[in-house]
Amino acid sequence: MPTTAMKDDFMNSKIISVSKKRQITIPLDFYKKLDLSKEVECSLEDGKIIIQPLHKDTSEFSVEILKDLVSQGYSGNELVEKFETQSKGIKNAITNMREEADAIAAGEKPAATFDDIFGSED
């Protein structure tokens, strides 16, 4: 392995402590390099905890929210306020869907069937 690769691997790896409350502190250089904010996405993959920036790409919803609010007659500051409220609702809905999907995947909650969602044909 070339020396530069070893140096890069070493610079991308740090040993950190876990508190009694299961909390960790992300090293400042990692935090800055990843441009992290108040929330991160945490996942378990192949026996590793992966912490990565939270992707807040709600742009596909933003256009639909704005179209709906404009069609309801909102404009100016009122439009901005309603948009912020509805955007937060989207974030909460996505969080709830992820949590539900995780619970289903872990076998903690049964998955919905087609009939549960759309009703039976009877």
Q: Summarize pLDDT for 98-115 with one digit per residue, the tens.
A: 888 888 888 898 888 888
Query: Do the domain assignments include residue 91?
Result: yes
**Does residue 7 register a pLDDT over 70?**
no
Give the range of the structural domain holding residue 44, as residue numbers without chain letter. Answer: 24-54
Q: Which amino acid is at 62?
A: S
Query: Do the domain assignments include residue 63?
Result: yes
Strands 40-45 and 48-53: antiparallel
pLDDT band with cut points at 50, 70 and 90 for residue 55: low
- Lowest-pLDDT range, 32-36, 55-59, 79-83? 55-59
Residue 87 vs residue 25, higher pLDDT = 25
Contact 86, 69 (CB under 8 A): yes
- Alpha-carbon Rg for the chain, nearest whole angstrom, is 21
| Runs of H (alpha helix) within 1-122 | 3-11, 28-33, 59-71, 76-105, 114-118
Taking residues 17-28, what's their average pLDDT?
A: 92
For residue 21, the 8-state DSSP code is T
Query: Do the domain assignments include residue 6?
Result: no
Cα 90 from chain centroid (whole Å): 12
Q: What is the pLDDT of residue 86?
A: 86
For residue 61, the 8-state DSSP code is H
Q: How many domains does the chain have?
A: 2
> Which residues partner with 45 through β-bridges?
48
Residues 60 and 50 in one domain: no
Query: Do the domain assignments include residue 61?
Result: yes
